Every structure is written in C-alpha cells, then in structure tokens.
Amino acid sequence: MEEDLRIRRYSKKTQTEYVRCAANFVRYFMKSPDQMGEKEIRTFLVHLVEERKVSASVQKMHIAALKFFYSNTLKRPDIVQHIHYPRTGRPLPDVLSKDEVLAVLDAVESTKYRTIITTAYAGGMRISEACSLHCRGDIDSSRMVIHIREAKGGKDRYVMLSERLLKFLREYYKAARPAGLYLFPGQDPARPISASAVRSVFNQAVAKVGIKKHITFHCLRHSFATHLHEAGTDIRFIQSLLGHCSIRTTARYTHISMDQTAKIRSPFDLIEPSTPVQRGTHAA
C-alpha cells in the first residue's frame, strides 16, 4: 500500500494517514485484510460512528483509505464499490475581523513566528505552505508574487506579495539569516519549521487576546478569503489564490462576508406603514 501511494504521488501526509487508517481496520479484527470484505468494512465503520463517535471527516478519511487499499493494492474494487461517504453539513467557519488579525499578530512575541503567521494570512496559505517556503525563488519581489510549491493535490500556484509583507520578510531575513533551503527552518536547518510548533504559538496568541470564537490556524485562510471578498475582489480570483478546484468551495465565503451582508437592506426596513400598528389591534 505504501508503494502504491508513492507511485500515485500522494502527499506524505496523505500516505501516513491512509496507512494509519488501514492499520486501524486490520487491528480491529486482527485478521489479514485479504480475508475480509464489505461486511467487515461496514462493521468497522459502524464501530467508528457509534462507539468511537469519530467526526465525519475522520470517517471519510478511513473510507478513502480502505477504498484505495482494496481498489489499488488488493485489486478488489468490488468490495468497496458500495461503501459510500457520509452526508455532512457545511457549517460556516469562524473568521477573524481585520482588527482581530492585527491583535493576534501583535500578541506573538517571536519575530520568526510572527512573520510566519503574517505570511500565511497575507497570502491565504495553509500552515504547511507557509512553513515550507524556500529562501530563494519563492519570494519574487520583481513580480510581487509568492510561489507556493506542491500545495494540496501536488499543485503549484502564485499568490500576491504584499508590499508590507515584503518589508517584514526583509527585516526577518536580515535578522535571522537562514542558511539552508527554507525561509523558516526548524531546529534542523535542513528541514522547515514544524507546523505543530507554529500552530501552538498561534493558539497561545489567540488565547492571550481573549477571542471567544472557535479559531484555528486555518481560520486565517478563511479570514483572508472573506476580507478579499468584502473588499470587492471577484470570487474567481479568490478561487485561484486559494488553489480551489471548484468555485463551489470558494463560494462559501460569499455567505460569511459581513460587510456585504450588512449593506443589504432587510425588506422589513422597506415597509413604511401609513398608520402606526399597535399590538392587539387587528384590521376588521
């Protein structure tokens, strides 16, 4: 299975997750997977949902892993053809206001971590994308773009390079002088800083500011898209900047752009009764 995942060029993170999920399935029955079929898979999925009470995303990950394993590695696609992904709602994510973004950034004391978090917001990047930026070639000041390499799905893309961000990056570079490949190296200069370390610092800053919303690092990406939409940026440009395959994924930000929502007048405001309406009185 590991070889098949590498041949298909799945990301390392996906490889790790798929193998872990397949191992969970095998461990549950303690039987070789080629001796099991649809019945065992369904029993295992019921166990995940009703006993372990996993989230829909965790359930979907296990289903995707087992579909890959049986279809590609065991060459038995018939076993998983009737295993379907769960129906899930699409709750709107919490986003930070512009003032809240600035407050969180100000709460980060480390210049290095503040620069990483600022870069992620300014370019609408995933945490792994910000951590993996290269010193040379990725920050193109002549064209004012940032090159994001091998993002989700193995796709490259460009995002805008903010003039303010370029100033911050230059100040950081002069102070840190990263010697290796990565702009934000970890303890081992040959490797990028870990996403978990950046996520931990971000969570501490959010707690320090006292924001009560359910905010994760990925909310910076949601906030980036929402703020762009509120500023009037075309949804198709936002789709390109985020690297979304489908415009439907990007369109959800039209539902959380508060500036646009606040400008829409309720029909109740358009009703102007000719006479005051008093409670308890009814027309004949």
Catalytic residue numbers read 126, 152, 218, 221, 244, 253
CA 183 and chain centroid, separation: 21
Output phi, psi for 5, to 5 deg: -65, -40
Task: Write the CA distances from 200 to 129, 132, 158, 172, 178, integer angstroms.
Answer: 17, 17, 27, 20, 22
**Cβ neighbours of residue 233 under 8 Å, at least 6 residues apart?**
none
Contact 1, 71 (CB under 8 A): no
Q: Which two tokens stand for residue 192?
A: 């990028």
Cα distance between residue 123 and residue 115, in whole Å:
12
Cα distance between residue 84 and residue 105, in whole Å:
42
Which DSSP string corresponds to 15-28?
A: HHHHHHHHHHHHHH
Task: Write the CA distances from 265 to 132, 232, 261, integer angstroms.
Answer: 44, 18, 9
Angle between helices 219-230 and 111-123 (to 10 degrees): 50
